[in-house]
């Protein structure tokens, strides 16, 4: 039974690995993601390594073992089901549920979680569009692209926001964007490092390419 903190490290390692496509997650990235000082990450990872939840190579990085991955996916499942509950059932705003879910994901029992899952009708994605792993730890596959990789004129559907930063979420939301929103790529300004998009029935907006990397999209129709 890993502690809450251990669960959290496993989850962060999983997500960083997924985002970066690198085999090993560097300690620095993990520490930053966890909001701790690097030394703290090292000492925790050494414990996880001793518990055979990760494979850790000093000075190169860390990756999950099969067992660690299983736990990470369970935590992710909790997190995303809880977020769905908070938004769908209790009407909280999808841009503000992350921190709450972060806490609850380590508190709710398996028994209750499955009841909530039933109550929600076995949702497959959370309010950010992120896929919910199954109870058996299967992660539905999808192949979205970054908004920043799209070409001018393309019409796409936003499917995920790959960032939990409050300010960014608020920015996105204030422009009426959410998973499912259709947008057209209006102008790509290479020199200005920005992209202009046209949401349906909303004002056009311009964002930097760095921000555009955080929006995952699929071709619409």
Partner DNA sequence: GAAAATATTTTGACTCGTCAAAATATAGAG
Partner DNA sequence: CTCTATATTTTGACGAGTCAAAATATTTTC
User: Any contact of residue 108 with its own copies (CB under 8 A)?
Assistant: yes
Comparison of 118 and 191: residue with beta carbon closer to its own copies: 118
In the complex, least distance from residue 41 CB atom to its own copies, rounded to whole angstroms: 24
In the complex, least distance from residue 166 CB atom to its own copies, rounded to whole angstroms: 14
Contact present, 2 and 71 (Cβ < 8 Å): yes
Comparison of 45 and 207: residue with beta carbon closer to DNA: 45
User: Any contact of residue 42 with DNA (CB under 7 A)?
Assistant: yes
Among 19, 20, 39, 107, binds DNA (CB under 7 A): 39
In the complex, least distance from residue 116 CB atom to DNA, rounded to whole angstroms: 25
Query: CA-CA distance, 105 to 7, in Å (whole number)?
Result: 9
Instruction: Give strand pairing partners of 63.
Output: 55
- In 3D space, the residue among 137, 114, 130 whose CA is nearest the CA of residue 10 turns out to be 137
Give 118's contacts (C-beta < 8 A, 6+ positions apart): none
E strands in the chain: 54-57, 61-64, 145-146, 155-161, 182-189, 194-199, 205-208, 215-219
With the CA atoms of 46, 52, 58 and 60 taken in that order, what torsion angle do they form, in degrees rounded to the nearest 10? Answer: -120
Among 59, 91, 111, 221, binds DNA (CB under 7 A): 59
In the complex, least distance from residue 64 CB atom to its own copies, rounded to whole angstroms: 26
User: Any contact of residue 208 with DNA (CB under 7 A)?
Assistant: no
Site string for DNA, 1-30 (x = CB under 7 A): --xxxx-------------------xxxx-
Take residue 96 and report the two structure tokens written for it: 């503000």
Q: In what order do the strands lie in the sheet with 155-161?
A: 145-146, 215-219, 155-161, 182-189, 194-199, 205-208
Q: Where on the chain is the footprint of DNA (CB under 7 A)?
A: 3-6, 26-29, 34-47, 56, 58-61
Q: Where on the chain is the footprint of its own copies (CB under 8 A)?
A: 86, 89-92, 100, 103-104, 107-109, 111-112, 115-116, 119
């Amino acid at each position: 039974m890993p502690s809450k903190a251990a669960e959290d490290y496993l989850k962060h390692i999983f997500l960083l690995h997924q985002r970066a496509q690198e085999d090993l997650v560097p300690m620095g990235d993990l520490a930053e993601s966890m909001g701790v000082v690097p030394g703290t990450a090292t000492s925790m990872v050494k414990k996880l390594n001793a518990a055979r939840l990760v494979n850790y190579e000093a000075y190169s990085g860390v990756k999950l073992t099969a067992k660690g991955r299983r736990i990470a996916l369970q935590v992710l499942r909790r997190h995303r089901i809880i977020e769905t509950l908070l938004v769908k059932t209790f009407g909280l705003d999808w841009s503000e549920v992350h921190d709450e879910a972060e806490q609850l994901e380590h508190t709710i029992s398996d028994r209750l979680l499955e009841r909530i899952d039933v109550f929600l009708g076995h949702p497959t994605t959370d309010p950010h569009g992120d896929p919910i792993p199954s109870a058996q730890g299967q992660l539905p596959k999808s192949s979205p692209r970054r908004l920043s990789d799209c070409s001018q004129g393309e019409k796409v559907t936003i499917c995920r926001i790959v960032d939990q930063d409050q300010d960014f979420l608020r920015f996105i939301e204030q422009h009426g964007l959410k998973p499912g929103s259709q947008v057209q790529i209006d102008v790509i300004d290479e020199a200005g490092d920005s992209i202009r998009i046209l949401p349906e029935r909303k004002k056009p907006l311009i964002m930097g390419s760095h921000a555009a990397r955080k929006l995952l999209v699929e071709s619409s129709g």
